[in-house]
Amino acid sequence: MANDPSNPDPQPALFGPAMPAGTGPDTDTDATAGTPGIHGSDPLRPLADRMRPGELDELIGQDHVVGPGTPLRKALAAGKPYSMILWGPPGSGKTSLALLVARYAKAHFHALSAVLGGIAEVRAATAQAQVRFDQGQRSVLFVDEVHRFNKAQQDAFLPHIERGTIVFIGATTENPSFELNAALLSRCRVHVLKPVTPEAIASALERALHDPDRGLGQRTWQVDEQTLLEIATAADGDVRRALTLLELAAELAGDGDGFDRALLDQVLADRGRRFDKGGDQFYDQISALHKSIRSSDPDAAVYWLSRMLDGGIDPAYLARRLVRIASEDIGLADPRALTMALDAWQGYERLGPPEGELLLAQCAIYLAMAAKSNAAYMAFNQARADVARHGTLAVPMHLRNAPTRLMKQLGHGRGYQYDHEHEGGVALDQACLPEELAQQQYYQPVGRGLETAIGERLRALRAARGKAGSGPQD
């Protein structure tokens, strides 16, 4: 590390001087203080906190953000940290990276939690930063869960970011495009942190297991790579969660030097996957289900449905989405799809979980394999657009209701032809659209499923109407 020009403050392996003990949300600390490790060897602190990386090279799984040659690495090497938004899933290293930025910039670090704090805490933190700024010291203001701040609270940071009073670092698990103000985003660079791979997490677990100062290395462990990989996989991309599972396993091991099968099963009993109800994970997965069915892929459809059920989604929401898919993406190509979706919903409500979940899976598979058509959906959207575009067009006189003598005298219903009295059951020369839309053809059936037959009949009808003068020829 001593010869690495991209490292602005080389430190001895493995961890060098960094943040003192006690650093965390709603804390205030001097990043220039030199204490061993980020949190030292305080055994009262959780293992995940003690094992925070002490330099950029130890932040696993985020080389695209902090690796050699990256903009952030170059900025820190030049002593020019910038304000940023760190967007990533839990346990991907957002807080650790913020601490490292403060340390490499030799800046004062102040952390706020948007869950616990408000505008008063923001004003106090920025006022303290102004005092330090006037004294020639940088301040890194880290806001965890920044998406929970409202517009006014987010706006409070803007003048301080512009003047350089603070280096602002906001951490969020939600899409910044939706959750953060455009004004704040325009003043910050967004870095996307990825879920950490099981292999990378396993390497962090091995380091924690054998680190005698901050980890569990005060005793000798006999834990093989496969066991560590199993724990890492169960953590589902979350390094903090993996270290917590490792710490729990070590406590349950007692005087033993390893983790047997029964112990692992106990530790890994709760293996829920990432699924934030109402967040990006939710919308990404429901989008994947919808698009898999639309793409006629039953394997993907049943997988994504299972993922969401595993994550704790409300099955009624899934049932509603299946009904929507049956109408929007299958439509009249297979009218049975809508009936099946409604039956699956009703069946689930009667059976409940877990038996009722099979009905939803069967429905998803059927919808994936059904003939697809969005012709009715497109026709509806185009008709609505014309309603908005043309306003209140008059109903043709022959189609109007005439329940009273006055209305009949005014011509309502005059000239109407009762279709059942005509050959084929259709009065071909009778126009039904407003005169301004006489040439419109909204419904265009596709050549799949039942719409093949519907399309043949519709083309014949349109051609006959065109000849009779009541509409355009198809």
Domain end, chosen from 165, 192, 219, is at 192
* Each residue's pLDDT tens digit, 78-119: 889 999 999 998 889 999 999 999 999 999 999 999 988 888
pLDDT level of residue 411 (50, 70, 90 thresholds): confident
Per-residue confidence (pLDDT) for residue 135, from 0 to 100: 93
Q: Do the domain assignments include residue 85?
A: yes
- Asked if residue 396 and residue 318 are part of one domain, the reply reads no
- Asked if residue 419 and residue 389 are part of one domain, the reply reads yes
Task: Give percent of the chain with pLDDT exceeding 90.
Answer: 54
Domain end, chosen from 219, 238, 267, is at 267
Encoded tokens for 202? 């396993």
Q: Do the domain assignments include residue 53?
A: yes
Residue 42 identity: D
Per-residue confidence (pLDDT) for residue 1, from 0 to 100: 38
For residues 255 and 217, is the Cβ–Cβ distance under 8 A? no
- Asked if residue 38 and residue 184 are part of one domain, the reply reads yes
Rounded to an integer, what distance in angstroms lies between the CA atom of residue 257 and that of residue 248?
14
Q: Do the domain assignments include residue 352?
A: yes
- Asked if residue 347 and residue 388 are part of one domain, the reply reads no
* Each residue's pLDDT tens digit, 202-224: 999 999 999 998 899 888 888 98
Per-residue confidence (pLDDT) for residue 275, from 0 to 100: 57
Rounded to an integer, what distance in angstroms lies between the CA atom of residue 438 and that of residue 434?
6
Kindly report the CATH number assigned to the domain that includes residue 250: 1.10.8.60
Read off the pLDDT of each residue in 381-407 and give the average, rounded to a whole number. 89
Q: Do the domain assignments include residue 185?
A: yes
- Asked if residue 236 and residue 135 are part of one domain, the reply reads no
- Asked if residue 174 and residue 144 are part of one domain, the reply reads yes
- Total structural domains within the chain: 4
Range of the domain at 412: 382-468
Rounded to an integer, what distance in angstroms lies between the CA atom of residue 241 and that of residue 44?
17
For residues 141 and 27, is the Cβ–Cβ distance under 8 A? no
Domain end, chosen from 240, 267, 294, is at 267
Residue 428 identity: L
Q: Do the domain assignments include residue 298?
A: yes
User: How far lies 411's CA from each of 189, 398, 416, 421, in Å?
Assistant: 68, 8, 11, 22
User: How far lies 84's CA from each of 44, 101, 123, 172, in Å?
Assistant: 32, 11, 19, 11
Rounded to an integer, what distance in angstroms lies between the CA atom of residue 227 and that of residue 355?
33
pLDDT level of residue 22 (50, 70, 90 thresholds): very low
Read off the pLDDT of each residue in 157-161 and give the average, rounded to a whole number. 93
Angle at 166 between CA 87 and CA 120, to 5 degrees: 85
DSSP 266-335: HHTS--PPP--TTSHHHHHHHHHHHHHHHTT-HHHHHHHHHHHHHHT--HHHHHHHHHHHIIIIIGGG-T
Give the global pTM: 0.64
Q: Do the domain assignments include residue 7?
A: no
